[in-house]
Amino acid sequence: MDGSWKISVSPVCSKDGKQYAFVVFQDGERIAEGKIPECIMTSAKDFTEEEVAEMENYMRRELTELKKAASSVNVWNAFLMD
């Protein structure tokens, strides 16, 4: 990643007994979303194939840290923030 990306992580979600979280990449006006632990992009409009591959590689490399971040997200604090 070249440092221009802003990255945020959702809280852990659960469906059919499986846990997952979303990772959002923002570069100016462009926003892309990936899903962990699968490390796949779910949306990436206006991004090149190379950029999408870079985001997926980033999620694979940083999966442990992204999982930790997702598990520490406090949803109530997020709603209370301005």
Tell me the per-residue pLDDT of 29-69, one tens digit each, with 9 for 90 and over. Answer: 999 999 999 999 999 989 999 999 999 999 999 999 999 99
Beta carbons of 45 and 33 less than 8 angstroms apart: no
Tens digit of each residue's pLDDT (9 = 90 or more) over 1-18: 555 889 999 999 999 999
SS3 (DSSP) at 9 = strand
Q: What is the pLDDT of residue 69?
A: 93
70: exposed, middle or buried (Cβ count in 10 Å: 0-12, 13-18, 19+): buried
Give the residue among 58, 33, 57, 60 at the shortest CA–CA distance from 45: 33
Beta carbons of 21 and 35 less than 8 angstroms apart: yes
